[in-house]
Amino acid sequence: MMQVAIFDLDNTLIAGDSDCLWGEFLTEKGVVDARHYAAEHEKYYQDYLQGKLDINEFLSFQLAELGKHDIDTLEQWREQFIDEKIKPVILEQAKVLVNQHREQDHELLIITATNRFLTEPIAKLFGIKHLIACEPEMIDGKYTGNATGTPSYAEGKVSRYHAWLEQQDIDTCESWFYSDSRNDIPLLQVVDHPVAVDPDDLLRQTAKNNHWQIITLRD
């Protein structure tokens, strides 16, 4: 039987939200209008925290900048973004947790509602090769600014996870899922070992009601 350890990314493995940090980065570089972009992003982030985010609308907003710039420029920015914004918020206890599962030969998977352009290099920092993320559309080597496929958000994480299991030819498995967010309750409900990590209020209460483990990865 395959054993799979699944991790949410933002505010679970890292002490922050990579989408928000990318917005900060683009603002600081003068790529986007600071006031307008910050206001729009804050609105979407509050919707996310309250569990009422329109993921398709958010992706249209979030991925628009990818469609405005060439891939070389974007990759240069991303490398700088990872160094300046992501590496400082990686949680040491998260690395310990990931390594505990790795040492038990568990298959490791990050599943996140943040797009692959931002999250693929973060997954590599944790040494995790399997990543399910929202997919930016690319045509002829250029991002279009649109998304493609099923967004890995809320119930979409469940369908994407099941599709991944089928793709990996995994018939049965024992599974863990670590998350901080109410939006991940659908996937937490289908794994064998749901774990709430520094959870928001609704997830904390849900975890208590269902006798799920609650942990912290913060010092």
Catalytically annotated residues: 8, 10
Going by C-beta distance under 8 Å and a sequence separation of 6 or more, which residues neighbour residue 175? Answer: 3, 4, 5, 6, 191, 192, 193
- Phi and psi at residue 189, in whole multiples of 5°? -75, -20
- Alpha-carbon span 107 to 94, nearest angstrom: 16
Between the two ends of the chain, the Cα-to-Cα distance in Å is: 34
Token pair in block for residue 157:
């994480």
* CB 85, CB 64: distance < 8 Å: no
Token pair in block for residue 169:
């030819």
3-state secondary structure 105-168: CCEEEEEEEEEHHHHHHHHHHCCCCEEEEEEEEEECCEEEEEEECCCCCCHHHHHHHHHHHHHC
Q: How far is CA 113 from the centre of its chain?
A: 5
User: Among candidates 17, 23, 62, which has minimal Cα distance to 180?
Assistant: 17
